[in-house]
């Protein structure tokens, strides 16, 4: 039986008359990268804060690392909040060492770990720079290193890619993969699908506080409509008559050959091979027929594209790190 790092059962969170999270249940297995996806206002941050026992659910049960309260196992957790914040006058190395000490490392071990991490991520020249003097990307790296310095079993990262340039985004992706290879569990929230598509073993999509999908990318693709790219001299109307076509878009028209390239989205459950067989039976000549599955972006838009941003949850204090 797969060991669970996090489990939520029928969790709901109300802020007065506003329901931020509605009857949410899911499990995160030990050692996996789990993406927590949804548009702004979907309830992602409220859910992560309930996991960490920063705020209490209105109803339902939460288990983190086998405990009913993340507070009791907080030294085994690393948390990067959505709201970035470092002590401005503290130096970079001091910041990392300080948070590592709060999580149980000795002073000497914390200092050596801070310098090791800074050197490893190319920030050794800024070890004695005050946080207020660091660029936004550097400061975010320092905060992330403060999150992992004590080598937590569970990493919870709330919108970790926000504000990072492409190079630092790649560095963070590499770091997340490395943490998984070390046997750690990573949960991260994002509304940027490319990161989730590259990183996640499984993911959950939230819309208006509810779970819309949970599973692997392959499972999501099998659920949603397939796309066909074809080239033919047939008209768009003739192509539409070949089968259950949900949408058709002209990709390119080649003047000399009078051929047109189409992108077709099939209706849910339709068989692409059936469309091909009907084209052959109708005598339609195809010079290209290529099938592609839906991207995570396509799936996300299909589930959340018509959702409106909900009123954000009220601000909450950061989880108390000290005992």
The domains found in the chain, sorted by start residue, are 4-216 (3.40.50.300), 225-293 (3.30.70.260)
Residues contacting residue 12 through CB under 8 Å, at least 6 positions apart: 19, 21, 22, 23, 24, 57, 58, 59, 60
Predicted TM-score (pTM) of the model is 0.78
CB contact burial 219-230 (16+ within 10 A = b; e otherwise): ebbeebbbbbeb
Structure tokens at 86: 């470092």
Tens digit of each residue's pLDDT, the chain (323 residues):
679 999 999 999 999 999 999 999 999 999 999 999 988 889 999 999 999 999 999 999 999 999 999 999 999 999 999 887 789 999 999 999 999 999 999 999 999 999 999 998 889 999 999 999 998 888 888 999 999 999 999 999 999 988 788 888 888 899 999 999 999 999 999 888 889 999 999 999 999 999 999 999 888 877 776 788 889 999 999 998 888 888 888 887 665 568 899 988 888 777 888 888 989 999 999 999 888 777 788 788 878 766 544 444 444 444 433 33
How far is Cα 121 from Cα 72, in angstroms, rounded to an integer? 31
How far is Cα 188 from Cα 259, in angstroms, rounded to an integer? 46
How far is Cα 242 from Cα 275, in angstroms, rounded to an integer? 6
Contact 187, 28 (CB under 8 A): yes
The dihedral over CA atoms of 7, 11, 14, 19, expressed in degrees to the nearest 10, equals 110
Show the DSSP H helices in 161-260 as ranges: 166-181, 193-199, 217-223, 236-240
Contact 4, 20 (CB under 8 A): no
How far is Cα 34 from Cα 201, in angstroms, rounded to an integer? 6
Q: Give the neighbor-by-neighbor strand order of the sheet with 227-232.
A: 245-254, 259-266, 227-232, 286-292
């Amino acid at each position: 039986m797969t060991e669970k790092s996090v489990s939520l059962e029928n969790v709901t969170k109300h802020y007065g008359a506003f329901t931020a999270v509605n009857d949410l249940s899911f499990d995160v297995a030990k050692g996996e990268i789990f993406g927590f996806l949804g548009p702004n206002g979907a309830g992602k941050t409220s859910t992560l804060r309930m996991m960490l026992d920063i705020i209490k659910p209105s109803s339902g049960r939460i288990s983190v690392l086998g405990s009913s309260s993340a507070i009791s196992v907080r030294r085994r957790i690393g948390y990067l909040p959505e709201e970035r914040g470092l002590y401005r006058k503290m130096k970079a190395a001091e910041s990392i060492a300080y948070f590592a000490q709060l999580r149980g490392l000795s002073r000497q071990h914390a200092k050596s770990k801070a310098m090791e991490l800074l050197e490893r991520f190319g920030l050794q020249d800024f070890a004695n720079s005050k946080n207020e003097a660091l660029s936004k990307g550097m400061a975010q790296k320092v905060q992330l290193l403060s999150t992992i310095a004590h080598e937590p079993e569970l990493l919870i990262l709330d919108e970790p890619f926000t504000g990072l340039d492409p190079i630092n985004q790649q560095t963070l992706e590499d770091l997340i993969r490395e943490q998984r290879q070390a046997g750690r569990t990573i949960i991260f929230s994002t509304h940027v699908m490319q990161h989730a598509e590259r990183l996640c073993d499984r993911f959950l999509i939230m819309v208006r506080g509810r779970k819309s999908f949970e599973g692997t990318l392959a499972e999501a693709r099998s659920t949603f409509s397939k796309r066909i790219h074809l080239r033919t001299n047939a008209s768009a109307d003739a192509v539409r008559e070949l089968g259950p076509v949900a949408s058709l878009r002209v990709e390119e028209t080649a003047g000399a050959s009078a051929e047109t390239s189409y992108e077709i989205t099939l209706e849910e459950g339709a068989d692409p091979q059936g469309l091909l067989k009907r084209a052959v039976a109708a005598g339609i000549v195809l010079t290209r027929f290529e099938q592609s599955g839906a991207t995570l972006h396509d799936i996300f838009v299909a589930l959340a594209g018509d959702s409106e941003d909900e009123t954000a949850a009220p601000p909450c204090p950061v989880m108390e790190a000290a005992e």
